[in-house]
Structure 1
């Protein structure tokens, strides 16, 4: 099955001068979910890159599934390898940057690193950012001890993550919980979690929310798409009418339009990265929303007034900044400080 998406990037296009963004550029690593692929979120990657970042998206090459045995073997491999893949890619990119290699490596500021993971990519990203696993969890019963040894060994190594974004991270639900509250509290990088409150893969109330609540060692935010399930990130792929439903279900959200999800994700991810990797304090206003429930945003409309797509700014302090009037709907934003 092939999914197509027409992006905006051009092969071999020259990079914008880094001086336009204050010198060398932060590095952002992206990590897909189980049986995903590197360009699955190219819309988000292009948006981040256009704002002055070097973006690298990993192709984890998970073993493809042709039966139950393949699933067990492939998933066990992902449990052991996701964080290791992320660490290895980061290490190799930074080594190339330190060696003054040309091309995108020459643009990288090795002291500013963001990590974005979706589902199993989020599972790995949390560990890479310092949230070591609880290896006594029964979830690891299918993983040979020898395969877990490198994972245990890497846990003591600081990957240098300065900002962590986890979309629908897997591994928090009681039946497959891979952390303890103590290990999650070891994450110190600022965190943005994005989730659907009807996620039936990672679980929301006792899964993703538990992860968020347990990360007491850092400031963290959680953006929630109400009524959404697991697919709350990813391109709006072109699909023919004869595509099997199994494929449609793998890349689409049942309730939310994919283009709407993408626009909202771009909005908040850009603000979060600019705040924490570029020190742009003004971007906090886009994250520190005036109401937890976006539906409660206030922006009065005069009788007969034409709205014309104006975006909320300084003059609309009671509305979610950057959203059009009447369009800030269906979202929640939770914000918690370190120690809480």
Structure 2
């Protein structure tokens, strides 16, 4: 039986995933835009520039797990995934990678009540900093996997993926079939969020996490030893694998580590765990939780981080960010700011949220996958005053 607290937790996180403050602001701004159509939206959206020394290459893979049937649409057959692989490149050559397709952007906007207001081509055409098919840089690099929040496409973690790639990581951002508002698959198929219609209780959320954990282990196997990865498999160091995710993707990070010993370190960006005691099965492997102070402080009634914290036995951090909201750890507030749609009720700007996410996530993986000392993770710092180190 689900406790009253757990029901509240599930309801709260579903609300965050489907109607976060950012999109409430966009909807309000939509009305203003309709009243004043003479003010056009900018067509020059651009993601933040990566901070590392490498140019970034990008490839998109369609992976099919022939040992599993899709849990949401069994009639569809085998479980399918779309994976964007960002990696260190020899040079910035080739075509710039697209952010998303027009149809994916349109479905995302329609789901938020913005269809016909913000042009889909404006969002789809946001400039990224990766180059399609660029030759990988020489060497072998750690692998980091990223899983998005429930109903969200993998593309909203593009800035983080490309920044990590520029620092010397191969990064696999994964779209899980039928779990986003719209993801393009081969053959002209647009798979929408069938799972959104079937997930309500905590037990059902746990099903999502278990399925995704299997997805991520499959992706690891394909990238390190499968045929579809091609030359990319030769630049991945299979002894240095990390994982991260936003919202339920953060729960996926912990669950994947619990089930797959190949993963050495994990990051949860503002997501509850849902699976108990997933944190207890990580052994001594490092894990970091980075979330909004409003929802993941020790006193928050909607977080399950205190219970997870008790079970984490290795290196661990519980960091909260003052002024952040659920999507502050993704591309969305950064892009909204360029559209003039930032929510004045959210103190943390999209640009600042991006920098905090970038700095702490890259520091975590640099420390635990590359053995590079990171003073940023030792305690509060004047350069990042919004970030509190929780010690419950």
Q: Do the two structures share a fold, i.e. TM-score over 0.5? A: yes
Between the aligned partners of 2:238 and 2:391, the Cα distance in structure 1 is: 28
Change (3 A) 1:187 1:335: farther
Query: Runs in 1 of length 4+ with deviation above 6 angstroms?
Result: 239-243
Tell me which of 145, 165, 189 is aligned to 2:267.
165
Change (3 A) 1:101 1:127: closer
Equivalences, count:
252
The within-5 A match list for 1:111-122 is 111-122=239-250
Contact 1:233–1:261 (8 Å) recurs in 2: yes
Structure that is richer in strand per residue? 2
CA apart distance, 1:221? 0.8
Change (3 A) 1:240 1:179: same
Contact 1:232–1:253 (8 Å) recurs in 2: no
What 5-or-longer segments of structure 1 have no aligned partner?
19-23, 131-154, 172-176, 298-322
Tell me which of 275, 290, 303 is aligned to 2:367.
275
The TM-score, its normalising length taken from structure 1, stands at 0.65
CA apart distance, 1:125? 1.5
Counterpart of 2:143 in structure 1 is 27
Instruction: Spell out, residue by residue over 1:144-191, the C-alpha distance to the aligned partner (whole angstroms, 9 max, x if none).
Output: xxxxxxxxxxx4xx34111101101224xxxxx5314xx422213201
Tell me which of 167, 178, 181 is aligned to 2:275.
178
Counterpart of 2:378 in structure 1 is 288
Between the aligned partners of 1:288 and 1:218, the Cα distance in structure 2 is: 15
Between the aligned partners of 1:253 and 1:9, the Cα distance in structure 2 is: 33
The within-5 A match list for 1:109-258 is 109-130=237-258, 155=259, 158-171=260-273, 177-180=274-277, 183-188=278-283, 189-199=285-295, 204=300, 207-235=303-331, 236-237=334-335, 254-258=346-350
What 5-or-longer segments of structure 2 have no aligned partner?
1-108, 110-119, 183-192
Between the aligned partners of 2:194 and 2:160, the Cα distance in structure 1 is: 34
Tell me which of 118, 125, 128 is aligned to 1:7.
128
Change (3 A) 1:224 1:239: closer
Counterpart of 2:155 in structure 1 is 39
Change (3 A) 1:207 1:101: closer
1:330 aligns with 2:386: yes
Tell me which of 55, 74, 82 is aligned to 2:212.
82
Counterpart of 1:140 in structure 2 is none
Contact 2:337–2:350 (8 Å) recurs in 1: no
Between the aligned partners of 1:51 and 1:121, the Cα distance in structure 2 is: 22
Instruction: Spell out, residue by residue over 1:219-242, the C-alpha distance to the aligned partner (whole angstroms, 9 max, x if none).
Output: 101221023232231112258979
Q: Which shifted more, 49-58 or 230-239?
A: 230-239
Between the aligned partners of 1:14 and 1:253, the Cα distance in structure 2 is: 44
The within-5 A match list for 1:37-116 is 37-63=153-179, 71-73=196-198, 76=204, 78-96=208-226, 102-116=230-244
User: Aligned Cα RMSD in Å?
Assistant: 3.3
Between the aligned partners of 1:332 and 1:119, the Cα distance in structure 2 is: 19
Between the aligned partners of 1:209 and 1:267, the Cα distance in structure 2 is: 22
The TM-score, its normalising length taken from structure 2, stands at 0.57
